[in-house]
Structures are given as structure tokens and as C-alpha cells.
């Protein structure tokens, strides 16, 4: 992992984003809900294994409230309801306006580790500024959500997710079939390791 913007050199974390999007790079419909067309068993199985392999999962308050945590994974909830960083029974609650990322994660994961960022445009955009090491972008090629919410705010403004990730310094790998019958594939975008 290459330390990026806002990261301490002594706490090594790998930040990995995960999203399943429509062919037009939307994560939700016009009402803000994930449509059934974006739910896929093969993708869900792969996604759950990725979360299991992570030291912590970071998501917004709404995502936290909407999705239970039956496997008891360590969570960090992004919320303005706390001043900075607070330990609660269901995980850590973090307010980016009250405590910089590198300070928050060094307290939560003092030995470093893999950070999974799985949902919510606001959280996806927050971590664009912090810097992804990888972004796993699964695309349902047969689904269109023209009035839906983009994976990033820049998508709502007209950019393709691929353009956004490339601008952020990530490069795509080969598309990996997740469910060929449903035309769903995965592209893993990775930050260049040049200079190591």
C-alpha cells in the first residue's frame, strides 16, 4: 500500500471500495433504493467473502441502519451525530469533520489492515478524497437506471465511473465474469504502485 493523501506512514491500511452498478453507473433508483435488478446471488457471495477478508467495514448511517450485521464484523459508521470518534456497542462512529481519517483509523486499527467501503454515494465520495487503493466495480450490463443515483456525485453530473476512477489515479484490470447469464462482470481498479 502506498500512503496517500491524509494517511500516516506508520499505520498501513488498504482502502477498498465495493459497488454494484447499472450499465449507466447507478447504485440506486430514483427513490434512492437499490433495485432488485442490481441484486445478484453470485455477486453477493463474492462481496460477502471480500467483507470477511477485511479488518473493518465503513459505511454511512443510513446503510448501517438498513443492513444488519449478523456476522458481527467490525464497523465504522460515518455520521455527524458524534463529535469525532466514538465507540458504541455496534461499532465505531466517526465524524470526518471532527477528526481526520488518519487519526480515526490509527485509533480503530492501530496495526493497520484492510478497510472495506461498500455503500453510499456520500461515503464513496468521502473516500475518493482520502484515496482508494482499489475499487471493485461490478456492473450489471443489462440494467439501466437513468434517473437513479450515481456511484459518485460526479456520475450524477455526467461523468462515467471509469472516468472518475481514472482521474483518481486507479487503473482497471481485465473484466471478470461474475454471472455471465445475467451479463454481470467485475472490474478491479487499482492504484499504481510506481515509485515503490
How far apart CA 155 and CA 177 sit, in angstroms, is 24
For the CA atoms of the chain, what is the radius of gyration?
Answer: 16
How far apart CA 43 and CA 129 sit, in angstroms, is 27
- pLDDT for the residue numbered 87: 96
- pLDDT for the residue numbered 8: 46
pTM: 0.89
- pLDDT for the residue numbered 6: 47
* CATH class of the region 13-58+115-191: alpha beta
Cβ atoms of 161 and 150 closer than 8 Å: yes
72-115 residue pLDDT tens: 789 999 999 999 999 998 899 999 999 999 999 999 999 999 99
Q: Where are the domains of the chain?
A: 13-58+115-191
H/E stretch holding 98 reads none
Residues of the chain with pLDDT > 70, as a percent, come to 89
| Strand duo 113-119 + 13-22: pairing | parallel
How far apart CA 164 and CA 121 sit, in angstroms, is 13
133-183 residue pLDDT tens: 999 999 999 999 999 999 999 999 999 999 999 999 999 999 999 999 999
6-46 residue pLDDT tens: 444 456 999 999 999 999 999 999 999 999 999 999 999 99
Amino acid at each position: 500500500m502506498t500512503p496517500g493523501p491524509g494517511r500516516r506512514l506508520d499505520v498501513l491500511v488498504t482502502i477498498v471500495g465495493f459497488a454494484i452498478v447499472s450499465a449507466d453507473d447507478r447504485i440506486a433508483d430514483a427513490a434512492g433504493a437499490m433495485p432488485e435488478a442490481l441484486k445478484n446471488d453470485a455477486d453477493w457471495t463474492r462481496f460477502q467473502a471480500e467483507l470477511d477478508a477485511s479488518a473493518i467495514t465503513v459505511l454511512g448511517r443510513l446503510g448501517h441502519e438498513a443492513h444488519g450485521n449478523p456476522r458481527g464484523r467490525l464497523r465504522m459508521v460515518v455520521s455527524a451525530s458524534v463529535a469525532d470518534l466514538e465507540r458504541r456497542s455496534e461499532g465505531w462512529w466517526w465524524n470526518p469533520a471532527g477528526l481526520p481519517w488518519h487519526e480515526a483509523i490509527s485509533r480503530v486499527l492501530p496495526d493497520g489492515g484492510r478497510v472495506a467501503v461498500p455503500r453510499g454515494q456520500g461515503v464513496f465520495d468521502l473516500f475518493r478524497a482520502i484515496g482508494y487503493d482499489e475499487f471493485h466495480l461490478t456492473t450489471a450490463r443489462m440494467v439501466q437506471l437513468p434517473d437513479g443515483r450515481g456511484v459518485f456525485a460526479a456520475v450524477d453530473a455526467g461523468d462515467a465511473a471509469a472516468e472518475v476512477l481514472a482521474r483518481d489515479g486507479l487503473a482497471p484490470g481485465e473484466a471478470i465474469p461474475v454471472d455471465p447469464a445475467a451479463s454481470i462482470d467485475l472490474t478491479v481498479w487499482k492504484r499504481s504502485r510506481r515509485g515503490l
